[in-house]
Structure formats: structure tokens, C-alpha cells
């Protein structure tokens, strides 16, 4: 029997990009559906830096965009039993500092923003292969293929001013239902997820009297990771997403997103209860607003009930 002790990995909140339209689709979260014992609790603190052609709003008439953004994230989560299956509930709250330059028509300019971005709340459940196990049961259990599902919610709590084109919050609710599979092969783990971002209406769009809608964004991602020893692993990540055409007062604005991003993630144990995850992602093929690079790190402290 193969022990799951080697498969136990940190449950880490992925870094959240501070810019609303880009953040929706470019998430790369290796091992999001990995097995863990119930009663695992954790807090995380993360930092990230993005530079490049970041399209803040696919409906905004801004061209030649260049942005530099730093963002800090605080989050926490816990695993528990939900009808006998392993479930994970987590929340993350980002704060961003961003400097953006671009052109509106013939006029060029630059702005800076700092404040809260929209938070994320995520509930995931492992169905196939995800039987809820206590810590004592988990240590010797056999690693199995896991099939799970999740729902991510982004409430409109970020900084938003309808009189400004560039904002850190989106002033609308966003939802992402997703299905995922995680398959172990000795020390390797293969992950694949498919989901769709759905958006409510922003009825206070620039300059406050316009209505902005956005089509869904379909996103798929895949990860290949290798575990050197418990909590020490490296992953190679990729995502593709398409859609998200915006309309203002019923008139289409801009073009749909259809982009591919790639990256890598490294998890390093510090102590029995602490670990660090570092990651880098970059646009591989871009059509609209994804030609940027993000580098980030997350510190995690975990304990058991």
C-alpha cells in the first residue's frame, strides 16, 4: 500500500491578481484538489508583482496599456467533512498598489491606484477518491485519483469609483463553478480543471450612468508536479481561457479574450507547520490584455484540530 504521507501538500490560497478582468481567468492553482485530512487549518500571507500589457477592463477605451502592480493577500481556510467527503473552505483578501499608463483616443496619461481588490471565497469538495479521513487515518491511506468540484465567489467589495476608468474592484459579483481531477503516478501528480467565470451586471459603469455586461469566460488549466519529499514539490502550469466580451449600454466594446499562460510553482517546507510557495506565470499566446508576467510568493502556517 502506498502511503499518502508523501502526498500531503500545503493547502495554499493562490495569489489573486489585483486587476478584475485579468484576475478572473489567469489563476494557476496546482494541486487544488489534492487530498488532505479533515481538521487541517491554515493561514496564508502572499505577495505578488505583475508587469506588462495588463488589460484592466475589456470594455474600457484604453489602448497601449502598461501596468506595474504589487499586491498583498491575506487568507485562511479549513478542511472538514461534508456528507462524508473532504471539503475545503477558504477566503482570501487582496490589497493592491498599481501604476497604469495608456492612451484614450489621442490622449496619453497615467494613473495610480491603491486599495482593496475584490476578495475570493471558495468551497471545494472531493467526490471520487475524496472520502473524509482524520489525520490518523490519512497517514497510511492509499493515494487515489480524485475528482472534485468547486465554486469560487468574488463579491464586489474592492475599491471602485464609477467616475474612473481604472479601478481595482469590478463593482459586480463573479462566480466560477469548476470541476477538477488529480491523478497520482508514483511521485508525479497530474491535475486538470475546467470551469467558467460568470458575471453579474455593473449598473454604475463609467461615468456612473452606464450599464456594463460581460460574457462568460471559459477556462481550462493543467499541471504536472513532482514531489521530492513531503511538502517539497515543483509544478509546471498552463491555462487557456476564452470569452469575456464586454458590452456597455448594449454596445459591444473591445474583443473577446483568447489567451494562454504558462508558469511554474515551487513549494518549500520551512518547519513542520510552515511552508513557502513561489510562482511565476507569463503570457504565452495573447489576444487581449494577457501579455504580462507575474511573480509571487505565499507563506503558509498550518495546524490540525
> Helix or strand or coil: residue 271?
coil
In this structure, of 14-18, 21-25, 157-161, the range with the lowest mean pLDDT score is 14-18
Per-domain boundaries in the chain:
5-304
pTM: predicted TM-score of the whole model, two decimal places:
0.90
What is the C-alpha to C-alpha distance for residues 87 and 149, in angstroms, rounded to an integer?
10
The grid coordinates listed for 130 are: 475524496
Enter the DSSP assignment of 78: E
User: Higher-confidence residue: 80 or 20?
Assistant: 80
Q: Which of 25, 27, 24 is nearest to 191 (CA)?
A: 27
Helix %, strand %, coil % for the chain, to 5? 5, 65, 30
Query: What is the spatial distance between Cα 17 and Cα 76, in angstroms, rounded to a whole number?
Result: 17
Burial class (CB in 10 A: 0-12, 13-18, 19+), 102: buried
Q: What is the pLDDT of residue 11?
A: 44
Q: Are 292 and 51 in contact (CB under 8 A)?
A: yes
Mean of the pLDDT values across residues 48-57? 73
Q: How confident is the model at residue 14 (pLDDT cuts 50, 70, 90)?
A: very low
Q: Which fold has domain 5-304?
A: Lipocalin (2.40.128)
pLDDT winner (highest mean) among 82-86, 244-248, 292-296: 82-86
* Mean of pLDDT over the chain: 86
Instruction: Give me the count of residues in the chain.
Output: 305
SS3 51: strand
Q: How far apart are the first and last CA of the chain?
A: 27
91-105 residue pLDDT tens: 999 999 988 887 776
- SS3 for 21? helix
Band (16; pLDDT cuts 50, 70, 90) = very low
pLDDT digits (tens, 9 = 90+) for 245-272: 899 999 998 778 888 999 999 999 999 9
Amino acid at each position: 500500500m502506498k502511503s499518502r504521507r508523501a502526498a500531503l501538500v500545503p493547502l495554499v490560497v493562490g495569489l489573486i491578481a489585483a486587476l478584475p478582468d485579468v484576475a478572473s481567468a489567469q489563476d494557476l492553482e496546482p494541486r487544488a484538489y489534492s487530498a488532505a485530512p479533515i481538521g487541517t487549518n491554515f493561514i496564508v500571507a502572499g505577495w505578488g508583482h505583475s508587469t506588462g500589457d495588463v488589460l484592466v477592463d475589456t470594455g474600457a477605451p484604453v489602448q497601449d496599456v502598461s501596468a506595474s502592480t504589487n499586491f498583498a493577500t491575506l487568507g485562511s481556510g479549513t478542511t472538514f467533512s461534508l456528507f462524508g467527503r473532504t471539503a475545503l473552505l477558504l477566503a482570501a483578501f487582496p490589497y493592491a498598489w498599481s501604476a497604469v499608463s495608456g492612451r484614450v483616443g489621442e490622449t496619453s496619461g497615467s494613473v495610480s491606484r491603491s486599495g482593496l481588490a475584490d476578495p475570493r471565497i471558495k468551497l471545494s469538495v472531493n467526490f471520487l477518491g475524496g472520502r473524509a479521513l482524520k489525520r490518523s487515518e490519512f497517514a497510511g491511506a492509499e493515494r487515489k485519483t480524485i475528482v472534485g468540484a468547486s465554486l469560487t465567489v468574488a463579491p464586489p467589495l474592492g475599491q471602485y469609483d464609477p467616475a474612473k476608468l481604472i479601478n481595482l474592484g469590478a463593482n459586480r459579483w463573479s462566480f466560477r463553478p469548476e470541476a477538477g481531477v488529480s491523478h497520482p503516478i508514483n511521485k508525479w501528480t497530474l491535475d486538470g480543471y475546467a470551469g467558467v467565470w460568470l458575471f453579474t451586471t455593473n449598473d454604475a459603469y463609467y461615468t456612473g450612468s452606464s450599464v456594463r455586461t460581460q460574457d462568460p469566460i471559459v477556462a481550462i488549466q493543467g499541471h504536472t508536479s513532482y514531489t521530492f519529499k513531503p511538502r517539497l514539490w515543483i509544478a509546471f502550469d498552463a491555462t487557456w481561457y476564452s470569452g469575456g466580451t464586454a458590452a456597455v449600454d448594449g454596445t459591444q466594446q473591445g474583443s473577446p479574450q483568447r489567451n494562454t499562460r504558462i508558469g511554474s510553482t515551487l513549494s518549500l517546507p520551512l518547519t513542520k507547520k510552515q511552508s513557502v510557495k513561489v510562482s511565476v506565470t507569463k503570457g504565452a499566446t495573447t489576444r487581449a490584455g494577457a501579455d504580462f508576467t507575474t511573480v509571487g510568493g505565499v507563506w503558509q502556517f498550518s495546524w490540525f484540530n
